[in-house]
Amino acid sequence: MQRSAAVHRNKLIDLNLLPAELRPRSYPRWYVLGLAAALTGCVLLVPALAIQHSAAQETTRLRDELTLITSRLESAGLDIGQERGLRTQIEQAEQAVAALQAERASLPGASGPLSKDLTLLYSAAPAGMSITATSRSEREVTISGDATSIEGVIAYARTLSQSGSFDDVTIIETTGGAPAMNFAVRVVQ
């Protein structure tokens, strides 16, 4: 009887004025604890998922940067390879230029520009003398032309000799007479 009095007393204390059909359902204790555990798990799981998502995005960004850096390094490697190839070609070209300069230095007339020597050959001719041809061999230049007198040919040879541009000046041929004389002079450089 004591129990029914306690239940009865509880019913009197129950402030729920709703009829029994409209009252909320009373769940067992294990069900409420399971729901609380699930809710706590969700509350803890959402930040973990957010952290995982953020980490995945960061990883993707870093992979993209790594791909970009790798491609730039490969490109730089190609550029370095091309630079090495170009440097090799430049060195070969410089060696060829040096060889050509050495060969040029060994050629006759290398002490001064050839155009200067040719200008001297033509400008040293006195009045009444015309140069019709020049030919060049190893270290020699032969000048031939027409003169009015042997004295003009000798003066021409003397002028070339005194210029200092030639080692030796020789009159090698004179033909014809005074009004129309042919001559040839050889100069050695």
CATH superfamily, domain at 114-188: General secretion pathway protein M, EpsM (3.30.1360.100)
Residue 1 pLDDT exceeds 70: no
Average pLDDT on 94-114 reads 70
> In the predicted model, is pLDDT for residue 7 greater than 60?
no
3-class DSSP state of 147: strand
Interval 70-93 mean pLDDT: 82
Domain map (residue ranges) of the chain: 22-106, 114-188
∠ at Cα 90 (86, 92), nearest 5°? 115
CA distances for 95 relative to 33, 86, 102, angstroms: 91, 14, 10
Tokens representing 120 are: 């001297």
Reported as a single tens digit per residue, the pLDDT across 129-163 is 888 888 887 778 888 888 888 888 888 888 888 88
Rounded to whole angstroms, the Cα distance separating 150 from 90 reads 56
5 pLDDT above the threshold of 60: no
Place of tokens 């409209």: 22
Average pLDDT over residues 92-115: 71
Tens of pLDDT, residues 162-180 = 888 888 888 888 887 767 7
Task: Specify the pLDDT at position 14.
Answer: 59
Residue 85's pLDDT is: 80
For residue 11, name the pLDDT band (cuts at 50, 70, 90): low
Q: CB within 8 A of 178, min separation 6: which ones?
A: 148, 149
Specify the DSSP class assigned to residue 178.
S
Q: What is the DSSP string of 13-60?
A: H----S-TTTSPPPPPHHHHHHHHHHHHHHHHHHHHHHHHHHHHHHHH
